[in-house]
Amino acid sequence: MEVEKMDENEWKYHGEGNQSLVVSHCQVCVCGGGLRRVTAEEILHHLQNIVDFGKHVMKQFFGENYVHHGEIIQLPLDFVRQLCLKIQPERPESRCDKDMDTLSGYAMCLPNLTRLQTYRFVEHRPILCIEIKPKCGFIPFSSHVSQEIKHKVCRYCMHQHLKVANGKWKRPSKYCPLDLFSGNKQRMHFALKSLLQEAQNNLKIFKNGELIYGCKDDQDCVSDWNELACHLKPFFFPSNGLVSGPHCTRTIVKELIHVITMTLLSSTDACRAGDMKTVPVSQGRSYCEASAFNKELVRNGKHKLESSGLPRGCLLYKTLQAQMLDMLDIEGLYPLYSRVEQYLEEFPEERSTLQIDGPYNEAFYEKLLDLSTEDDGTVAFALTKVQQYRIAMTAKDCSIMIALSPCLQDECSEQRPVVLTSKSRFTFSVSVLDLDLKPYESIPHQYKLDGKIVNYYLKNVQAKDDPVMSNLFKENEDCTLVLHKV
């Protein structure tokens, strides 16, 4: 039996074949000044919300083939208890005081995304799977931003320094999401190489469902390139014609980066979001001043920062569009959240009508399509922006799973997506996961965290940087007229 931690509230059990089970923690809620255990009906409702949100909302943004919303099943309680005993030794120490739900028997049945999701004919062959958590791919363009640094340096690059200071990571990563989302292959290759150098929790590689590269938790990382090359060599050089050594390792890693880039830029699905009015990707800056790639260009006297743009049908483009529903930034969103909160204090019975806790149905999705930013002072406007922000935060924290399997030339056809390397060809599937809607209650935390990240960066990083660097970047910046309210 194979078990994997999904997030702080869920564990995944990989059963036989191509399916997985997700079992939630047994939750406790405050009621009448005391604590009570969540009922089986409430757990069922919670899981149904997750399924409905994936089916009726995120599938509309990402596409039928990319999103796997799963289904709710009921398991024998004896099996659930045995499962909980089995995974207990694997749980992080910080989570051992949280009891698993062994009373309701409800769970979600989901496909094992480390396996190909489209074509069963290659299931008997080795499967390589790359999991990437790309994070936020744009710089805030909202006029509500109070610190100019947020218009220049992306959230991820700023947050790296705070995480290192807090001891979460030993060193900052050179990865910048804006490079990956640029659509420029050179920048994408640099971003992926940076992820391979410092995977943190943003990259994992599986072979036949087993983790061979990346972090199992915050500190336990497997990041030996030579060992990775030994795993990958049969995939990329099946004839074993490549000698061993550093050159071999670099060549194999280069092939891997090429394959990941091509699959991320591929278009294998259509969705309704492609037909909706989208947020212009051109809004805001297309590069981050803190990006190691851009800094290297500046040092070499090259100030032209290429951003080729993403193909509209690829998963990165769809992810970016969902992320850019955060049109106001948390600074512009927080006052609207406060407006909704004030309304709920006066009319608490309206919470269900506002669909804050679901149901996440077609009607919920339709309300998300209003991209207006002119505040008319109503609760309806504030609620729409709050819900869009929750969608955006979900997209900013999602993971992309790329499953690859070698295929012979006579097995490949136009109906099967294929990516080529110098010596091999792969059929592949691309999926997105971690699409649980971010909690409404987390918005105050996000507001405070944003302030901490920016203040730490301004005090401890920007003040130490070369002041000439900012001027060099300005030479490449397009002239844009920005109107601010006075």
Q: How far is CA 282 from CA 287, 310, 385, 473, in A?
A: 11, 11, 21, 18
- Phi first, then psi, for residue 22 (nearest 5°) are -115, 120
Does the pLDDT value for residue 331 go beyond 60? yes
* 3-class DSSP state of 254: helix
Domain residue limits, the chain: 8-112, 129-457
Asked if residue 280 has a cis previous peptide bond (ω within 30° of 0), the answer is no
Whole-number pLDDT of residue 31? 45
Please say whether the beta carbons of 290 and 153 come within 8 A.
yes
Does the pLDDT value for residue 91 go beyond 80? no
Place of tokens 């996961």: 433
Q: Kindly report, residue by residue over 1-20, the tens digit of the pLDDT.
A: 344 434 444 444 544 455 66
| Dist CA 26 CA 48 (whole Å) | 16
Please say whether the beta carbons of 122 and 408 come within 8 A.
no
Whole-number pLDDT of residue 321? 95
Does the pLDDT value for residue 216 go beyond 90? no
Does the pLDDT value for residue 125 go beyond 80? no
Whole-number pLDDT of residue 464? 76
Does domain 8-112 correspond to CATH entry 3.30.300.350?
no
Mean pLDDT of 322-340: 97
Does the pLDDT value for residue 245 go beyond 80? no
| DSSP strands (E only) in 145-240 | 203-207, 210-215, 221-222
Does the pLDDT value for residue 275 go beyond 50? no
Band (pLDDT 50/70/90 cuts) for residue 444 is very high
- From the list 149, 187, 136, the residue with the least C-alpha distance to 453 is 149
| Dist CA 27 CA 144 (whole Å) | 37
Q: Who has greater pLDDT, 37 or 18?
A: 37
Place of tokens 């009726």: 56
Band (pLDDT 50/70/90 cuts) for residue 29 is very low
- To the question of pTM greater than 0.75 for the whole model, the response is yes
